[in-house]
Amino acid sequence: MRALVRAFRGRIRPSAALALLVLCGPVQASSDAAASPKGDAAFGEYLSGTCVTCHQVSGKATGGIPPIVAWPEDQFIAVMNSYRSKDRENQVMRTIAAQLNDEEIAALAAYFGGLILQPDTKK
Amino acid sequence: MMINRRQMLAGAGALTAAAGLGMPVVKAQAKPRVVVIGGGPGGATAAKYIAKDSQGAIDVVLVEPKETFVTCFHSNLYLGGFKKFDQITHRYDKLSSAYGVRHVRQWANAIDRDKREVVLGDGSRIGYDRLVVSPGIDLRYDSVPGWGKEHEETMPHAWLAGPQTQLLRKQLDGVKDGGVIVMIAPPNPYRCPPGPYERVSMMAHQLKSTGRTKSKIIVLDPKEAFSKQGLFQQGWERHYPGMVEWLGPKIHDGIKSVDPKTMTVTTGFETYKNCAMVNVIPAQRAGKIAIDAGLANASGFCPIKPESMASTLDPNIYVLGDASIAGDMPKSGFSANSQAKVAAMMIRGDLVKARTFPARYANTCWSLIAPDDTVKVGGRYEPKPDKITASETFVSKTDESADYRKQVQAENMGWYDGIIADMFS
């Protein structure tokens, strides 16, 4: 499953690795400072209402909307931080990320990270 | 089946009638019921989320007469030939099979707010603890002089997706090269602010791609400005030179009358005779049932509490989507879907003490101007005491590259699949 997720990611988000490299330093530092609290998945599920209008909860990806299910939480956090800091390009995602604080991004990472990519998600 | 909550509470004979629905006698011990009127982006999303997240603790009934739902969003893409009609048509089946929503295929004729009952088309009643009203818009057939419901087959509105959408496409296909198409755009507030202008783009695309470039689309607008105006007008110049003319009220001086018999549109400035096609998008108000139930104010739309989408006029009722006065949020499918999730959470909090969080709303509207040339506008919104207020908004820029616009179109197509999955899967 993890291999499948990674393969999916690698294909659809070629620049995600760069975002991770750039951002994992500060993310790691702030996580350490906050004693690495794990995100509140129930809170994340509520917040996810905004995400799943575009990103399918099954993990299915069509058109230009990538899957966001079953990512490692640290990577999810790094990518969201890159939108929040306006490093990564996308007006919708920048606007969505701008309203989220660290706790909320962690909650989303915990929720989506805990979902399973459903087997019938390939078109 | 007749259900009368007061009679049941009084222990009267209605008990027998209620047994089939597993109705509570004592409310405190009952499984609460939410009735949802309307199966669009507001209603279908609310029904699904309440049923899914309450995991059987709430009885959810969707009152929607149609078997299938045709989305208004992307109906312009059907018009432009980018989607087939069945690609914008969706079934409700999974709401029942996967989440246990009971789909009652009837019109909701009235709301008896005192008894907390919805009166169905066959005269039967269904009781509710909380009611979600998401009827969309009704057209004001008296808003364009000379035009009415009896003329919608001749001069279609196509603002309620379905047969009207197909009719508009059929008429468009019949326009000869050199034919003049007049669109009468609606006044604010109305469903889908960029919609009329995306439609102009898609009509122009159809004409151009079939060699009918001598045809012209005249847009008679009662508004001085419209959504994404600079982007659309730049796109029309770029892709359809000489084919689209937009006239604001200072120029056309008002739409004086239309005559469906002679296909004539008369403004204070000019008369357009023998039009090849006239698309009348009239003024709008909340769906009739919301107005009849006294849920609307003088504006014709329904005031809501920004923190919950609950009606300010009835605490047991939530109004979603186009029928509501959602402050800075536009009337769009995305908005209705976003509002539905807030309402669903608040209703679960109210009825089964589920955890609730402060409301947040979002919207994005994509508009296709020409193949692979798509623009977007959107924002995030939060409740303030007086209204739902935009906290950040964005809109495409006129200098974006072709590659970027193509990516935005891919996003548009992916979003459509996403919101459909969110509503119906």
Closest Cα in chain B, distance from residue A97 (Å): 10
CB nearest to B394's CB, from A57, A60, A91: A91
Q: Express each pLDDT in B104-144 by its tens digit.
A: 999 999 999 999 999 999 999 999 999 999 999 999 999 99
* A64 interface with B at CB cutoff 8 Å: yes
Least confident stretch, A60-69, B37-46, B71-80:
A60-69
A-B contacts at Cβ under 8 angstroms: 95
- Does position B88 have pLDDT exceeding 50, yes or no? yes
Report the SS3 class of residue A32.
Answer: helix
B371 within 8 A of B81, measured Cβ to Cβ: no
Closest Cα in chain A, distance from residue B422 (Å): 6
CB nearest to B413's CB, from A62, A98, A99: A62
Measured between alpha carbons, how far is B344 from B54 in angstroms, rounded to an integer?
A: 10
Residues in A touching B55 (Cβ below 8 Å): none
* Amino acid B328: pLDDT: 98
- Does position B59 have pLDDT exceeding 90, yes or no? yes
Burial of B371 (0-12, 13-18, 19+ CB in 10 A): middle
Q: Express each pLDDT in B378-423 by its tens digit.
A: 999 999 999 999 999 999 999 999 999 999 999 999 999 999 999 9
Q: Express each pLDDT in B330-387 by its tens digit.
A: 999 999 999 999 999 999 999 999 999 999 999 999 999 999 999 999 999 999 999 9
**Number of neighbours of residue B259 by Cβ within 10 angstroms:** 18
* Amino acid A117: pLDDT: 85
Backbone φ, ψ for residue B318 (5° rounding) = -115, 135
Residues in B touching A55 (Cβ below 8 Å): 418
How many percent of chain A have pLDDT more than 70? Answer: 66
Burial pattern B288-312, b for ≥16 Cβ within 10 A else e, equals: ebbbebebbeeebbbbbbbbbbbbe
B412/A54 Cβ within 8 A? no
E strands, B296-425, in order = 302-303, 317-319, 324-325, 361-370, 373-383, 388-395
Chain centroid offset of residue B72 CA: 7
Measured between alpha carbons, how far is B340 from B329 in angstroms, rounded to an integer?
A: 13
* Amino acid A121: pLDDT: 58
- Residues B14-33 have a mean pLDDT of 50
B378 within 8 A of A95, measured Cβ to Cβ: yes
Residues in A touching B357 (Cβ below 8 Å): 43, 46-47
Residues in B touching A39 (Cβ below 8 Å): none
pLDDT-derived band at A37, boundaries 50, 70, 90 = low
How many percent of chain B have pLDDT more than 90? Answer: 93
Nearest-10 crossing angle of helices A73-84, A102-113: 140
- Does position B18 have pLDDT exceeding 90, yes or no? no
Mutation pick from A15, A43, A46 vs chain B, by most beta carbons of B within 10 Å, is A46
* Amino acid B16: pLDDT: 38
* Amino acid B17: pLDDT: 40
Cα–Cα nearest to B144, from B256, B309, B69? B256
Q: Express each pLDDT in B304-322 by its tens digit.
A: 999 999 999 999 999 999 9
Closest Cα in chain B, distance from residue A52 (Å): 7
E strands, B137-234, in order = 137-139, 180-184, 216-220
> Residue ranges of the domains in chain B?
31-138+285-358, 153-282
Closest Cα in chain B, distance from residue A51 (Å): 9
CB nearest to A52's CB, from B345, B394, B422: B422
Burial pattern B26-40, b for ≥16 Cβ within 10 A else e, equals: eeeeeebbbbbbbbb
Give the CATH architecture of domain B153-282: 3-Layer(bba) Sandwich (3.50)
For residue B214, CA distances in Å to B204, B211, B227, B319 come to 11, 8, 27, 46
For residue A117, CA distances in Å to A72, A74, A122, B95, B164 come to 13, 18, 10, 21, 39
Least confident stretch, A33-37, B148-152, B330-334, B414-418:
A33-37
Give yes or no on whether B31-138+285-358 and B153-282 have one common fold: yes
Measured between alpha carbons, how far is B37 from B226 in angstroms, rounded to an integer?
A: 31
A63/B416 Cβ within 8 A? yes
Measured between alpha carbons, how far is B142 from B133 in angstroms, rounded to an integer?
A: 24
Tokens of B90: 């969706």
- Does position B4 have pLDDT exceeding 60, yes or no? no
Measured between alpha carbons, how far is B220 from B97 in angstroms, rounded to an integer?
A: 46
Residues in B touching A98 (Cβ below 8 Å): 380, 392
CB nearest to B364's CB, from A42, A43, A92: A92
Looking up tokens 């669109």 gives: B183
Closest Cα in chain A, distance from residue B275 (Å): 38
ipTM: 0.82
A50/B376 Cβ within 8 A? no
pLDDT-derived band at A5, boundaries 50, 70, 90 = very low
> Residue ranges of the domains in chain A?
2-113
- Does position A11 have pLDDT exceeding 90, yes or no? no
- Does position A20 have pLDDT exceeding 80, yes or no? no
Taking the alpha carbons of B269, B273, B278, B280 in that order, is the dihedral positive or negative? Answer: positive
On average, the pLDDT of chain B sits at 93
B380/A96 Cβ within 8 A? yes
Question: Residues B285, B316, B310, CA angle at the centre, nearest 5°?
Answer: 55
Measured between alpha carbons, how far is B40 from B56 in angstroms, rounded to an integer?
A: 22
Mutation pick from A12, A13, A47, A53 vs chain B, by most beta carbons of B within 10 Å, is A53
What is the residue-wise DSSP string for B270-330?
Answer: -EE-S-SEEEE---EEE-HHHHHTT---TTSSEEB-TTT-BBSS-TTEEE-GGGEE-TTS-
Q: Which amino acid is at B298?
A: A
Q: Express each pLDDT in B93-110 by its tens digit.
A: 999 999 999 999 999 999
Superfamily grouping for domain B31-138+285-358: FAD/NAD(P)-binding domain (3.50.50.60)
CB nearest to A99's CB, from B391, B407, B419: B391
Closest Cα in chain A, distance from residue B416 (Å): 7
Q: Express each pLDDT in B256-297 by its tens digit.
A: 999 999 999 999 999 999 999 999 999 999 999 999 999 999
* Amino acid A38: pLDDT: 83
- Residues B4-33 have a mean pLDDT of 46
pTM of this structure: 0.88
Looking at residue B139, the DSSP 8-state letter turns out to be E
Q: Express each pLDDT in B175-199 by its tens digit.
A: 999 999 999 999 999 999 999 999 9
* A93 interface with B at CB cutoff 8 Å: no
- Does position A19 have pLDDT exceeding 60, yes or no? no
Cα–Cα nearest to B167, from B81, B283, B333, B279? B279
Cα–Cα nearest to A98, from B320, B110, B391, B384? B391
Q: Express each pLDDT in B196-233 by its tens digit.
A: 999 999 999 999 999 999 999 999 999 999 999 999 99
Superfamily grouping for domain A2-113: Cytochrome c-like domain (1.10.760.10)
